[in-house]
Amino acid sequence: MNPVNYLYLAALLFTIGAAGVLIRRNAIVVFMCVELMLNACNLAFVTFSRMHGNLDGQIIAFFTMVVAAAEVVVGLAIIVSVFRARHSASVDDASLMKL
């Protein structure tokens, strides 16, 4: 099967993730969409690794997973504490950084 199709899939997943980040209000869903974008990137890395015949892309995919895991820990902790403080997980409610 032509490896380019995997790239199309990665692009599709990335777009869905990006659209979710921009459109959705629920912090959990936005967070999941960020993960979706990261995994789309991972898919692209692995695909390129296969196409070019070296392992660099696969190694970077592992790095991405580690970073994503760390990010999940921090990000979920923030979301939980925001939820506790404001009784809402909507990102629009946390729009305090403005004059």
What are the two backbone dihedrals, phi and then psi, of residue 90, each rounded to the nearest 5 degrees?
-80, 130
Per CB under 8 A, 92 contacts another protein: yes
- Cβ contact 78:86 at 8 Å: no
DSSP per-residue string spanning the chain: --THHHHHHHHHHHHHHHHHHHH--BHHHHHHHHHHHHHHHHHHHHHHHHHHT-SHHHHHHHHHHHHHHHHHHHHHHHHHHHHHHHS--BTTTT--S--
Report the nearest approach of another protein to the CB of residue 93 (Å): 10
**Binding residue for another protein (CB under 8 A) from 1, 69, 85, 97?**
97
Per CB under 8 A, 12 contacts another protein: no
Binding mask 30-69 for another protein (x = CB under 8 A): ----------------------------------------
Per CB under 8 A, 22 contacts another protein: yes
Among 2-10, 18-26, 53-61, 71-79, which window interacts with another protein (CB under 8 A)? 18-26
Q: Given the rule CB under 8 A, which residues bind another protein? A: 18, 21-23, 91-92, 94-99
